[in-house]
Copies of this chain bind each other. A is one copy, B any other.
Amino acid sequence: MPPEGRRRRIEPRSGVAFELAAGQTLTVIDPMGQQVADLLAFNAADIGEVISSGRTLDYANKIYLTTGDPLYSNRSNVMLDIVEDMVGRHDFLLTPCSKDTFRIIYGDTDPHRGCFGNLAAALATYGVTEDMIPTAFNVFMNVPVDASGSFQVLPPLSRPGDHIKFVARMDLVIGLTACSALQSNGGSFKPIEWEIG
Interface with B: A3-11, A52-60, A79-87, which one? A52-60
Tell me the chain A residues, 100-128 only, with Cβ under 8 Å from chain B. Answer: 100-101, 104-105
The complex places the Cα of A152 from the Cα of B60 at a distance, in Å, of 11
The complex places the Cα of A65 from the Cα of B134 at a distance, in Å, of 20
The complex places the Cα of A152 from the Cα of B185 at a distance, in Å, of 30
Oligomeric state, in copies: 2
Tell me the chain A residues, 111-153 only, with Cβ under 8 Å from chain B. Answer: 130-131, 133-135, 144-152
Partner of A76 from B76, B98, B134 at Cβ < 8 Å: B98
Partner of A54 from B49, B53, B61, B130 at Cβ < 8 Å: B53
Which interface residue of A76, A104, A105, A130 has the most chain B CB atoms within 10 A? Answer: A76
The complex places the Cα of A147 from the Cα of B146 at a distance, in Å, of 6
The complex places the Cα of A98 from the Cα of B55 at a distance, in Å, of 10
The complex places the Cα of A46 from the Cα of B193 at a distance, in Å, of 38
Asked whether, in the complex, the Cβ of A62 is within 8 Å of the Cβ of B151, the reply is yes
Contact residue range for chain A? Answer: 35 or more
Shortest Cβ distance from residue A90 to the other chain B in the assembled complex, whole angstroms: 10
Indicate with 1 or 0, residue by residue over A58-73, a CB within 8 angstroms of chain B CB atoms.
Answer: 1101111000000000
A27 proximal to B (CB < 8 A): no
A32 proximal to B (CB < 8 A): no
Asked whether, in the complex, the Cβ of A62 is within 8 Å of the Cβ of B131, the reply is no
Please name all residues of chain B whose beta carbon is closer than 8 Å to the beta carbon of A52 when the two chains form the complex. Answer: 95
The complex places the Cα of A63 from the Cα of B61 at a distance, in Å, of 15
Asked whether, in the complex, the Cβ of B94 is within 8 Å of the Cβ of A150, the reply is no
Please name all residues of chain B whose beta carbon is closer than 8 Å to the beta carbon of A100 when the two chains form the complex. Answer: 55, 75-76
